[in-house]
Amino acid sequence: MNHKLSLQIIAVITLFAITANAQQIKEMAPGVTRVTVGEADQFSPYNLLQEKPKVEAMNQLPATEAGIDPKAIRVELNARGAVVHIPLGNDEELYGFGLQMNSFRQRGLRRRPIVNDNPLNDLGYTHAPTTFYLSTKGYGIFINTSRYTTFYCGTHKQVKGNVNVNTGAGNGNGQSVEDLYKNSNKQSGEVIVDIPGAKGGDVFIFNGPTLKNALQRYNLFAGGGALPAMWGLGVQYRMKADSKQADVYKMANYFRDNHIPVDVFGLEPKWQTAAYSCSYVWSSEYFPAPQELIDKMKAQGIKLNLWEHAYTSPASPIYGALANAAGDYKVWNGLVPDFAGKVAPKIFADYHQQTFVDKGIAAFKMDECDNSNLATGDATWAFPELSQFPSGIDGEQMHQQFGTLYFQTMYGNYKRSNKRSFFNIRSLNGFASSYPVALYSDTYVHKEYIRMISNAGFSGLLWSPEVRESSSVTELCRRTQTAILSAQTVFNSWYLKSPPWLQYDRDKNNRGEMLPNAKEAEAHIRALLNFRMSFIPYLYTAFAKYNREGVPPFRALVTDYPEDKATYDVWDEYMIGDNVLAAPLADSASSRRVYLPKGNWYDYNTNKLYTGGQTYTIETGLEQIPIFIKQGTILPMAKPIEHVDAATKFEITCYVYGSNPVPAELFEDDGVTFDFDKGQYNLLFMEWRSNKGKVNRKGNLKTQKFIVNTWIKI
């Protein structure tokens, strides 16, 4: 071959390579742009998304300014996979990456959001490994992959061009030994994403203009936020794993006799004939008459929630049918259903529909879907990454998506039945905002539990900081306060015979030694749970706003106050709805420092007015609620009830904080069906003018749930 010809061939090949890797830019929805280079993955979060974007709500958001120019996103493809480069300005702060436990601000960190139940040195391992981050500059970036990715959040500079150009001497020029190791790269102008195995880079840009707007677009793009069944916002109590039917009856009577609110009872593994792996068959030894149980609970206003996981036991009636629709490795000798295909979800869903949903089971706790435990070498509680599934998905991508796919399978039944619910789950991934389900964990560090409330809000997730044992009554109350100020209030007594307020110590509890002051502790918990029940109308309305506008009901302060740099580091306070700031106390604290953003704030317990923009030391009693109310708020609080049902009427008192409050809203629907989606709801507008309260109800719904009868001016 002559020299000229070979040059021509090289030129053609190079041209082809450049064309093949050309950047494709596509508008996906208002303010949402997709940038693709190379081949997008088949099992990407976007391809797995079943919901439609709420385009009209996105159009209502303020006009977007390009937070990031799509053309500035650079993708390199090489033999290892894809590398995505996203510009990062010097003054930007980053948040997100799913349900992070150990850190809040993410700039300067290396993040590997990999699904796992153990955080492991803040590498990014998490129950919800969402490949999404938000910038204070007012945009969000979603990497559309289910592979294990690593984000270098402004930590590295790529060597480009002439390496001999002098750019400084490096580290070690200062006075101290520490100077040797100072990271001089923190101001790097990009986020670099490593996606081994990918044949392309696929990036979604969610423009703001503000961080909050970008977050709204992310949630709306995935179908809006979840609106759980109203009863789901009440209290959930999970029974000890070896409870029998009679124990459940006894516990229900205890709650009702002592007027302790409860809406949901959870049954843990032993309700089934086999649990590790699962049979999904009632154990006749533990629960001889399941329908009687469901009906009796219903008569007492208690819904049932069943624990399970997806690894299907040979003892299950669906094992045979699943045999050809499962992965090629077992877990606990059970099959791993291929939820990314078409066959397994149908078998799994149909069986659950007939056996449970049609019989009145209201919800499920979906356990063990988080590749536990990746952090230790001796745990084999999950299928290997090298697994293959009939649909073509591999074990790695299946792990990242397992919770989401499993949830879609189970939730589909409720949707088709026009029944709303509120589930518990151990893993989710991107574009999950519309799912009425809260994440939970076996970890138990109280401060982390609080941080996870703030972090969940950045990624379209809901988090439940469940209460189990404690070391004192004070700690138990603090944990309960955090739980009532979260998306889902759960007492997970799966290893406690009696409720933790009768004995917080695990061993003593199970030996039947109750606290000498058990009645006093019970009274504290009752008071706190009563608050939760009073708060439901406000909370439910915040969820409706999540559903319709994509604003998370629980979100970090920086979401609402991005111009206030003092909020950038505040991970242990968060907004609930638009007007309530929560500052839970961790462990056994009796006071804590609270930063209040600009404006004026009322301590909910004392009505004392505080000027914002400052930090205060606040003391909170065991029956008090660590929240602050923004001046200018009308806060609707209901007379506490013991559970929510279809006929519940909430008797509302409106508390008026300040002289010229902004009108408040309540969202009213049947609380249990999806009919609100077809316009079956009312909005109540509450105004305070000339020292008088006025309510204006607009909408199509005939029945009224909220009766506003009292106004109190603070």
Q: Which residues bind ligand GAL (CB under 6 A)?
A: 241, 268-269, 307, 367-368, 442, 492, 494
* Cβ pair 215, 537 in contact under 8 A: no
Burial of 250 (0-12, 13-18, 19+ CB in 10 A): exposed
Nearer to ligand GAL, 260 or 382 (CB): 382
Pick 285 or 295: Cβ nearer ligand GAL: 285
CB of 366 to ligand GAL, least distance (A): 10
- DSSP letters, 293-346, are HHHHHHHTT-EEEEEE-S-B-TTSTTHHHHTTSB-SS-BTTBB-B-TTSSHHHH
Closest CA relative to residue 149, chosen from 195, 200, 100: 195
373 cis-preceded (ω within 30 degrees of 0): yes
Query: By the 8 A CB rule, do 102 and 219 touch?
Result: no
Report, in Å, the least distance between residue 303 CB and ligand GAL: 18
CB 462, min distance to ligand GAL, A: 16
Q: Compute the distance between CA of residue 548 and CA of residue 223 in angstroms, rounded to an integer.
A: 9
In the block, which residue shows the tokens 């009145």? 360
**Pairing, β 650-657 against β 580-582:** unpaired
Between 356 and 491, whose beta carbon lies closer to ligand GAL?
Answer: 491
696: which residues sit within 8 A by CB, 6+ positions away? 684, 685, 686, 687
Work out how close the CB of 352 gets to ligand GAL at its nearest, in angstroms, rounded to a whole number.
18
Amino acid symbol at 152: Y
Contact 519, 488 (CB under 8 A): no
Cα torsion 335, 338, 343, 347: sign: positive
Q: How near is the Cβ of 309 to ligand GAL at its closest, in Å?
A: 8
Give whichever of 144 and 424 is closer to ligand GAL, judged by the CB atom: 424
DSSP 459: G
**For ligand GAL, the closer CB: 458 or 491:** 491
> 232 or 269, CB closer to ligand GAL?
269
List the beta strands (DSSP E) in 465-526: 489-492
Q: How far is the CB of 22 from ligand GAL (least distance, A)?
A: 47
Q: Using alpha carbons only, give the angle 669, 354, 225 rounded to the nearest 5 degrees.
A: 35
The smaller minimum CB distance to ligand GAL, of residues 466 and 669, is found at 466
CA distance 136 to 351: 46
Please name the residue that has the structure tokens 């539990």: 449
Taking the CB of residue 114, how many other CB atoms lie within 10 A of it? 22
Cβ atoms within 10 Å of 628's Cβ, excluding its own: 27
Sheet holding 682-689, edge to edge: 664-668, 682-689, 692-699
Closer Cβ to ligand GAL, 92 or 367, answer by number: 367
Minimum CB distance to ligand GAL, residue 255 (Å): 20
Instruction: Determine contact, residues 417/61, Cβ cutoff 8 Å.
Output: no
For residue 441, the minimal CB distance to ligand GAL (Å) is: 7
Residue closer to ligand GAL (CB basis): 442 or 619: 442
* Least distance (Å) between residue 304 CB and ligand GAL: 15
* 402 vs 681, beta carbon nearer ligand GAL: 402
* CA 455/CA 115 separation, integer angstroms: 16
Q: How far is the CB of 331 from ligand GAL (least distance, A)?
A: 13
Name the minimum Å distance from CB 381 to ligand GAL.
9
Q: Which is nearer to ligand GAL, 368 or 642 (CB)?
A: 368
Q: 444 vs 610, which CB is nearer to ligand GAL?
A: 444
User: What single letter denotes the amino acid at residue 604?
Assistant: Y
- Token pair in block for residue 573: 């306070």
CB atoms inside a 10 Å sphere around CB 189: 13
> Contact 81/197 with Cβ under 8 angstroms?
yes
DSSP per residue, 4-43: HHHHHHHHHHHHHHHHHT-EEEEEEETTEEEEEEEPPPTT
Nearest approach in angstroms of CB 342 to ligand GAL is: 29
Whichever of 429 and 464 has its CB closer to ligand GAL, that residue is 464
- Strands of the 633-638 sheet, one edge to the other: 633-638, 650-657, 706-713
Q: What is the CA radius of gyration of the chain?
A: 26
Q: How far is the CB of 424 from ligand GAL (least distance, A)?
A: 8
Nearer residue to ligand GAL within complex by CB, 294 or 369: 369
Minimum distance of ligand GAL from residue 468's CB (angstroms): 8
